[in-house]
Amino acid sequence: MSTNANRHLMNPTVIEMTKPALGSSRSILRTIAPGFAWAGLSVAILSGWFVVTRVGFRQALNVWDVTALRFGEGAILLTPTLLVGPSRLPMRAWTQGIALATLWGAPFILLVGIGLQLTSATLASSITPASMPIFAGAIGWAMLGELPRRLQISGFILIAGGLLVLIYGYALTEGRPNAAGVLTLIVAAAMWAAYTLRLRGSGLTPLQAAALICFWSAIFYVPIYVGFSLSNLRYASGRELLFQSLYQGFMMSVVAIFAFNCAIASLGPRAAAAIVALVPVAATVLAIPVLGEVPSLPSATAVCVIAMGVMLAASSPQSKASLKATGESA
């Protein structure tokens, strides 16, 4: 029996049949590996944003300043790429960015910033990234006919349970969480989910999408910011302004948005959402030495449960068409 097995393994036909499979696996790995790298870079910057922004709030800056720095500087840095070079975009196509900027531009940052200001870095970094896949699944089900699998439903249950425990743990140590702050974070999650699904079908490159988000956010937001004298920048120190300008204007508006868009283009919206599951964990860990926000044991456990839930919820859904085909074949 062992001799037959050896002959089968040494059979040139078997070896030739194995080569395409190995080549296909290597090809897939080469395709998705950059996507995971982009997603990891995005997660690192997004995690730091919750902590860096809360540090700014504790000093002189307000949520209006953070939004202005992020998209004002981002527009200055990225708009030229839409006019010249390989990412040049015809003016008639620029209007595609209005919807993207509405969903993941200035309104999104204002909502998350307000929620962060009214709650904590741990709560804000958990609620918005964790709720996003739930909304993405609901939107995909209602509008794209993508039915959630059992694995996804299990993830949704873990997320919901983790969020309830997180809010309970927060209430034990900090008191009842601000309802308005929690609501703004949930609304922001819904907008983020809609953005990830819309971007995939926009036909825009990651750089074009990032540039359009910054451009339209600056066009609509900066006049309001200046006209209503919402700035607190004059009260900030030079060091604080330099640091926040670098992080908000360059790291977030240029690097993080571009990296996340690349992850969506390479991995798909749900796989990119799975990587975002690491944001609550990383932000919670960063908040301990930087902000002195030490989570309680229930809160720390809830963050880990949420991360696992998001990874399950971000698995590929089953379309109605494939489900129908399966039923007919059976």
Whole-number pLDDT of residue 327? 46
CA 23 to chain centre: 32
- 52 vs 254: CA distance, rounded Å: 16
pLDDT at 40 over 70: yes
Whole-number pLDDT of residue 80? 97
Q: Domain range spanning residue 299? A: 34-316
User: Average pLDDT over the chain, rounded to whole?
Assistant: 85
Domain contains 215:
yes
User: pLDDT digit string (tens) for 72-126?
Assistant: 999 999 999 999 999 999 999 999 999 999 999 999 999 999 999 999 888 999 8
Domain contains 17:
no
Domain contains 23:
no
pLDDT at 236 over 90: yes
Domain contains 2:
no
Domain contains 20:
no
Contact 163, 328 (CB under 8 A): no
Domain contains 4:
no
Domain contains 16:
no
In sequence order, what DSSP letters do the residues of 59-125 get, joined into one string? TT--HHHHHHHHHHHHHHHHHHHHHSSTT---GGGTTHHHHHHHHHSHHHHHHHHHHHHHS-HHHHH
Whole-number pLDDT of residue 84? 94
Q: What are phi and psi of 135, to 5 degrees?
A: -65, -40
What domain count does the chain have?
A: 1
More confident position, 174 or 314 = 174
Domain contains 293:
yes
pLDDT at 175 over 80: yes
pLDDT at 13 over 70: no
Whole-number pLDDT of residue 20? 53
pLDDT at 325 over 60: no
Contact 71, 105 (CB under 8 A): yes
Q: Which residue has the tokens 């800056």?
A: 61
Whole-number pLDDT of residue 323? 44
- 105 vs 217: CA distance, rounded Å: 6
Contact 128, 50 (CB under 8 A): no
**pLDDT classification of 69: cutoffs 50, 70, 90:** very high
Cα–Cα distances in angstroms (integers) from residue 313 to residues 116, 123, 307, in the given order: 24, 20, 10
Q: Is the dihedral of CA 211, 266, 153, 155 positive or negative?
A: negative
Q: In sequence order, what are the residues at sequence separation of 6 or more whose Cβ sits closer than 8 angstroms to the Cβ of residue 194?
A: 103, 135, 139
318: three-class secondary structure by DSSP:
strand
pLDDT at 15 over 50: no
Cα–Cα distances in angstroms (integers) from residue 255 to residues 39, 42, 158, in the given order: 11, 8, 31
316: three-class secondary structure by DSSP:
coil
146 sits in which H/E element: strand 146-147
- 22 vs 27: CA distance, rounded Å: 9
